Chains A and B, each alone.
Chain A
Amino acid sequence: MIGAGRTKQYANVLDKPLSKGRQEVSLSAFSFLFSEIVQYNQTQVDNIAELERRLEDAGYAVGARVLELLCHREKGNRRETRLLGILSFVHSTVWKVLFGKVADSLEKGTEHEDEYMISENELLVNRFISVPKDMGAFNCGAFVAGIVKGVLDGAGFPAVVTAHFVPMEQQQRPRTTILIKFAEEVLRREAKLG
């Protein structure tokens, strides 16, 4: 899973019994690991944008692996070819494997044809967060945006994916929205498929 020997890795994964997916660790184990990733990456950057980019990169690697795993396990190596198909795959299948639930919502952007939003009221990586004022709009959700981007890219749907806090009425805490803006080629291909 680390860099070199990629093809070897795939063969290895196929050799493994896939029922391993049932094994469980505590939510805290992930939270502590993730905290340390954020802390480590803070030492590697000068600004918030760079920090988010590095978290996105880490997430991207996770997303690419998740896609491979799920394609073998759940879809018999069949991949989604349609836009709504891949979006619902991310919103339900991927979310279930990673977060144990389907995402709270999947919506189409109202202003732009190429934008979609997956929202989560309590995204795992933001559950315990308090962002200090000097970190501005920093959002740990960049990691999850990276995961989504990794899945989409791997499936042939390149997109720019970003994470945002969206304040909600009647709720103390903002929800996290993962904004997906598909590349032009994706929309052109989709239009051709009719």
Chain B
Amino acid sequence: MQNAELFTLTYGAIVRQLLTDLEDVDEVNKQLDQMGYNIGIRLIDEFLAKSNVSRCVNFKETAEVIAKVGFKMFLGITATVTNWDVDGSSCSLVLEDNPLVDFVELPDMCQGLYYCNVLSGVIRGALEMVSMKTEVTWVRDMLRGDDAYELRLKLLKQVPEEYPYKDDE
């Protein structure tokens, strides 16, 4: 583990870079989500290698593992899984703390910004690598005046492994 400041400040620098490059808050939100996704598809292997998790079939268990093991491993925090819907295909992750946002206050020009959008992308990317197509959205965001950080996780479908080559290839 290391001091969170380098991480926090570096994240701030990239958000600033995107705001300069893209000049549009919605585009920045999209790009942050995409960057998160790209991180997620890498990070999953580190997670699997370190945690020794050998299979992820059940979505309910998977959500708990993200909240208790995943967040702890990478961000040093944990999250609570709540608000399951009846068929067990969507739930909320409420973060106990959020190292991305230390020292951050959104200036007026950035009010539509989902500053932490990278996180939703990471979860989406990582889950896709273990065959779970999901939709991840922010429900509550303290930078936007809410009382907590809450992500909504929805399982769209589990994708079976297909034979990747066509016969005529």
A-to-B contact residues, CB < 8 Å: 1-5, 8-9, 12-13, 16, 20-30, 32-37, 39-41, 44, 54, 57-59, 61-62, 65-66, 69, 97-100, 124
Chosen A-B contacts, 14 in total, with CB atoms closer than 8 Å, are: A1-B15, A3-B109, A4-B109, A5-B105, A16-B103, A24-B4, A24-B76, A26-B75, A30-B10, A32-B43, A32-B74, A33-B118, A41-B17, A62-B10
Task: Please give, as numbers and ranges, the residues of chain A lying within 8 Å of B84 by CB-CB distance.
Answer: none
Within B4-38, the residues touching A (CB, 8 Å) are: 4-7, 9-17, 19-21, 31, 35, 38
B-chain residues with CB within 8 Å of residue A58 when the two chains form the complex: 10, 13-14, 17
Q: Which residue of A lies closest to B1 (CB)?
A: A24
Pair count A-B, CB < 8 A:
141
Given contacts A1-B16, A3-B16, is CB(A37)–CB(B10) below 8 Å?
A: yes
Within 8 Å CB of A12, what residues of B?
A: 103, 105
When A23-B4, A24-B76, A69-B5 are in contact, do A2 and B11 touch as well, CB less than 8 Å?
no
Q: Does B135 touch A at the CB level, under 8 Å?
A: no
C-alpha spacing A35/B3, complex, angstroms: 18
- Among B15, B103, B106, residue most surrounded by chain A Cβ atoms (within 10 Å): B103
